[in-house]
Chain A
């Protein structure tokens, strides 16, 4: 069995959205390097429960890096130090004995804190509702490959579709902008033939909703790309900018 580590955690504690929060310090003397980051928090919560204290609230679901539910800013980096990795897939062997960690929730006006490290990301849902869909005729499933799609286009669309909507891009952005998320959704549908009918309408609706949700404005730092667990490229932001320009000039839409 591998040796255990001693860690100090400074965890953001906030009972609800309206109460002011602060950091609480925890010392854990026996962290196994084989634990995932969330398992380490599970162990801590277990002990807090035994002592009759309030457990730390954090988001998690699939714990295999595909659902987009988890997300903690660890020492200033969303999802922690390992690139292309969600918090749940991060392991404690990435840390050293004696490390002091600061755990913070995603910080964005558009993502209000619900409790401790849990934030409300329904602003993302509203961006999707505005245009993150395609309209298809209902009925039996179409034949596979009924619509030919070039390999390169399919790959590029898939790169954008890899977005799990975790919000790390917003958390990492010095401007708290949601451009990478929105661009990934606009891009993956806009590249494919099935997404063409609503392509220019979609981008206007999604950008207008993004603006309404109080996200910030992109200044091309590319911090989002560095923190994205799926490695989505900011090239999709350039693609969205061009689609929006074309859409707003050639096919301006009416907003509800």
Chain B
């Protein structure tokens, strides 16, 4: 029987799903960090920013509609990202039925080797993060619509701040290898610019990690109160 080549059934097609959803998720974490920099502009500006996100495109989508559209897209992206990761991991595990007695790594690094477990950890962290700052279920003094006060109160608990800081290690590693992988999978390849790909990946990872770590540090040191 003849059949048509279907991209999504092939290994590379699944990797393209990883990469395209990766573009969305990398874009989200960068924007998420950048938006939160409003914390440094003071309570009024930060709360106003939260309100702005709820009111964005409200005439079309209704109050809070934009946020729900964004959440739906991100949730779909995360689901597709995880599904492809599981399928590809299973394929790769089946591809070496007998393992090596001795393994020597030459080019792979902590970032590339921690993608799978790092991803599992990040998924768990994202669930906690949403329960903490979005729904407030595990937040001591959560108040809806008051992001500034919620962040300050949340990070005043030292071990919560520490957990957030620690979680940035797997995020940074995942972003570094993920961004570089994304460029490689989508075929961003030109002799003149290839040397930039690792640097772009490192810059994305560093900007997000340093920005995010600054929030709990600012609360703990009293810079934000």
Contact = CB atoms under 8 A, between A and B. Distances in A.
A96 interface: no
Interface stretch (A26-34, A190-198, A202-210): A202-210
A222 B96 CA distance: 17
B7 A177 contact: no
Interface residues of A, number: 55
B12 interface: yes
B96 A176 contact: yes
B222 to A, nearest CB: 42
A104 B4 contact: no
Interface stretch (A44-52, A56-64, A85-93, A242-250): A242-250
In this complex, the member of B11, B93, B101, B185 whose beta carbon has the largest number of chain A beta carbons within 10 angstroms is B11
A134 to B, nearest CB: 20
A42 B2 CA distance: 49
A102 interface: yes
A226 B191 CA distance: 19
Contacts of A174: 92, 105, 108, 113
B15 interface: yes
A238 interface: yes
Nearest to A224: B107
Contacts of A219: 88, 92, 112, 115, 181
Interface in B1-34: 2-7, 9-16
B95 A76 contact: no
Interface stretch (A1-9, A107-115, A139-147): A107-115
Interface in B97-113: 97-108, 112-113
B104 A77 contact: yes
A210 B5 CA distance: 13
Contacts of B104: 75-77
A241 interface: yes
Contacts of B214: none
Contact of A217 (B14, B98, B100, B191): B14
A207 B107 contact: no
Contact of B184 (A205, A214, A237, A244): A237
A234 B14 contact: no
B7 to A, nearest CB: 4
B193 to A, nearest CB: 11
A10 to B, nearest CB: 8
Q: Which 3 A-B pairs have the closest CB atoms?
A: A242-B187, A216-B95, A76-B104
Interface of A: 10, 23, 73, 75-77, 102, 104, 107-110, 113, 172, 174-177, 204-205, 207-208, 210-211, 214-223, 225-227, 234-235, 237-245, 248-249, 252-256
Given A177-B95, A241-B16, A255-B3, 13 more contacts: A76-B102, A108-B95, A109-B94, A177-B92, A207-B11, A210-B11, A216-B92, A217-B92, A220-B180, A238-B188, A244-B10, A245-B186, A255-B5
23 contacts: A76-B103, A77-B104, A104-B102, A108-B95, A109-B94, A205-B5, A211-B9, A215-B95, A216-B91, A216-B96, A219-B112, A219-B115, A221-B112, A223-B108, A239-B187, A241-B185, A241-B186, A248-B10, A254-B2, A254-B5, A255-B2, A255-B4, A256-B2
